Structure 1
């Protein structure tokens, strides 16, 4: 039995009383030169779906944790009109720090890179605005800003229309069917409202925010990588560039993966993406120091 094959499970307790699992896959032989990774799932995708990614990274000496977005996978959050908010701010401001705290308890004081898939990368970007000293970089895979101007032709038009229609649907029912996002299940209305604000106008300030996210993003200086999957209509290069543009002061890189691995399916066959992730970490981050913040990096 190896640590890679059997992930640890930590139950995270959210402020609304719901719980969600954090799955931790530890490397059998940790490479101390590399940071740990916190993986943030895409919309309506459960944490367990990404275990092949975590195991592939752990086989290369990287400790990985996969969190669960509220209302997805094994989360106990109940989606409906009486549900508490579960938008971008709750994810970036409450849930990501909760996962990082649990990682620190299990893995010790470590530098962490956020690896976000699709909407998970958007949440990761928003967390960067909070300048958490534990987070030293962001990797966005098959990810995008949903701002409609980053999508070609009729798809951009449809996104603009969806940004108007879906919030109304969410207010009436408390959720939006996942089919609107090419997924299954239901999406919390509060999450869709934040998505719609970003898709319709590019406004980066989510509802109920306790900070100015736009100002915080403008000051982010940790590096970010976007990996665009070939033929991924849900996350084309233009939309990935718009995601990176949310970090105007950060060193950013966009790479095209030439194989059409699929918007979600890449996570089941992750070798190509994992190779890019590790190469970028080694190139951009090198030897890392736990808990180093932006100012300390600038002085290093």
Structure 2
């Protein structure tokens, strides 16, 4: 039975025959000056988890869609040794464009901001390298490059070790248990191999790539925002800076949210992040300059990189 609070749903059909839902939450009262938002989930996190975030953005006049990554949530992709490829390249080159196509059919031709959480932001950066004219910017929340040198102390050492061990585990079983990343579901081996390459080298060039991703990233000029959540060891500011550094020609901003909202749970309590996203869109994409005596306070925690 459909609940009144359920989002609208569009089935996306992938080249391997699997499907995944695109969840759509339309603005209560659309602000035509603002772009639409496409949410890209974190590793092993289902799309429905982000509904509170989508509804909070929609209440502020933004149309929002949340895509489901292959092998996560309600995706019908079956993870295993005989599965079709489902790495970062497939997400950036096939799945994100499918979601953008569906959004264009629903909302018309309008700019879209990719809002990626953790690994979803990495996929968003990969897509920027493809220079899709529909994408106007990127917001990365609780996100990072997993490059091990961006993490302090023992965690960096563990990431370097994981970049060696996890691909071997994926090769043997066809997947990596989600428990490795604090989740319950399985993670496709291809996705882990691409993650491991990033963790070991910091270079974004995934398997099966049809373009030179680093060269494409060097030419990206759309703006990007990284929001670091306080006390989040999985996405410290140093690792977020490494993600933004992949966009050397873009206007990038790093902001630190001082409340410890949690690496995942910020999406269930999104007010602080939504306020930052709206302010950034106003500055970078709508050309709205905040006024009044609160400007100095609003700048606190913001670092232009």
TM-score by length of 2: 0.92
Rounded Cα–Cα distance in structure 1 between residues aligned with 2:196 and 2:99: 26
Aligned to 1:285: 285
CA RMSD of aligned residues (A): 1.1
Aligned to 1:297: none
Alignment of 1:224 with 2:224, yes or no, is yes
Q: Secondary structure at the match of 2:187?
A: strand
Aligned to 1:179: 179
Gaps of 5+ in 1: 289-300
Aligned to 1:111: 111
Contact 1:229-1:260 within 8 A present in 2 as well? yes
Aligned to 2:14: 14
Alignment of 1:147 with 2:147, yes or no, is yes
Aligned to 2:52: 52
Rounded Cα–Cα distance in structure 2 between residues aligned with 1:184 and 1:205: 28
Q: Deviations over 1:187-222 (max 9, x none)?
A: 000000000000011121000001000100000000
Aligned to 1:211: 211
Contact 1:33-1:287 within 8 A present in 2 as well? no
Question: Quick one: higher RCO (CA 8 Å, sep 6+), 1 or 2?
Answer: 1
Aligned to 1:41: 41
Alignment of 1:235 with 2:224, yes or no, is no
Q: Give 1:5 shift.
A: 3.9
Gaps of 5+ in 2: 289-305
Aligned to 1:86: 86
Rounded Cα–Cα distance in structure 2 between residues aligned with 1:29 and 1:185: 37
Aligned to 1:298: none
TM-score by length of 1: 0.94
Equivalent residue pairs, number: 285
Aligned to 2:74: 74
Contact 1:111-1:136 within 8 A present in 2 as well? yes
Q: Deviations over 1:218-240 (max 9, x none)?
A: 00000000000000000000000
Q: Give 1:28 shift.
A: 2.1
Larger CA deviation: 153-162 vs 24-33: 24-33
Contact 2:28-2:60 within 8 A present in 1 as well? no
Q: Secondary structure at the match of 2:259?
A: coil
Q: Give 1:287 shift.
A: 5.8
Rounded Cα–Cα distance in structure 1 between residues aligned with 2:71 and 2:110: 28
Aligned to 2:250: 250
Contact 2:35-2:113 within 8 A present in 1 as well? yes
Rounded Cα–Cα distance in structure 1 between residues aligned with 2:250 and 2:28: 33
Rounded Cα–Cα distance in structure 2 between residues aligned with 1:124 and 1:287: 23
Q: Deviations over 1:126-148 (max 9, x none)?
A: 00000000001000000000000
Q: Secondary structure at the match of 2:120?
A: helix
Q: Secondary structure at the match of 2:113?
A: strand
Contact 2:228-2:254 within 8 A present in 1 as well? yes
Rounded Cα–Cα distance in structure 1 between residues aligned with 2:24 and 2:146: 29
Alignment of 1:276 with 2:276, yes or no, is yes
Superposed structure 1 runs of 4+ greater than 4 Å apart: none
Aligned to 2:263: 263
